Amino acid sequence: MMDWLELERACLSCQKCALADTRHNVVFGVGARDAEVMFIGEGPGENEDLQGEPFVGRAGKLLDDMLELIDLDRTKNVYIANIVKCRPPQNRDPLNTEQDACIGYLRNQVALIRPKIIVCLGRIAAMRLIKPDFKISKEHGQWFEKAGVHMTAILHPAAILRDPRRRPETFEDLKKLQAKIREVCTHTY
């Protein structure tokens, strides 16, 4: 396992897959390295690729609003990362081969942070981190436990922007997340 300095240096110079050839920036992750709650998306979009930070576009603004609703803040008490750290061209889903090449970096981040709770943002992250047959529409908001870590998935903020009728179910999921944080976290609130 690498420490933070080694890990970030390895990511920033990574050439393990073809996404390295088209990226402007590696999107390593953002937030508190002692966070008890991690949020994990699928991969950078255009704005993230240009700025080198996760969730900074329109979906990112919505994510920040969702966090604020339950007193979370990317600069204070959560850590945000993605399954793949480089932008897939035209925002296509990251290929399995690309996820395989990249996932070790995320696993190393999880090992360093040792979160109590991992929240997958959308289907791709949930299928990779919770179970391969995860059904996001049916199983969002349900809780799973893996290696002592409480895991759940909520709808991806970009999916809510495409279909605002799905906001209420996400609001319910966020309230359940807040209750879980109160139950298992010691220094988030």
Between 86 and 177, whose beta carbon lies closer to ligand URA?
86
- Longest CA–CA span in the chain (Å) reads 44
Cβ at position 83, least distance to ligand URA in Å: 8
Beta strands in the chain (DSSP E): 30-31, 37-41, 79-82, 117-121, 144-146, 149-154
Between 8 and 184, whose beta carbon lies closer to ligand URA?
8
Between 101 and 120, whose beta carbon lies closer to ligand URA?
120
Cβ at position 10, least distance to ligand URA in Å: 19
Between 31 and 44, whose beta carbon lies closer to ligand URA?
44
SS3 13: coil
By CB under 6 A, name the binding residues for ligand URA: 27, 41-45, 48, 54-55, 59, 82, 121
Cβ at position 158, least distance to ligand URA in Å: 6
User: CB burial class (10 A; 0-12, 13-18, 19+) of residue 163?
Assistant: exposed
Torsion sign over Cα 54, 9, 19, 34: negative
- Please give the residue whose beta carbon sits closest to ligand URA in the complex: 41
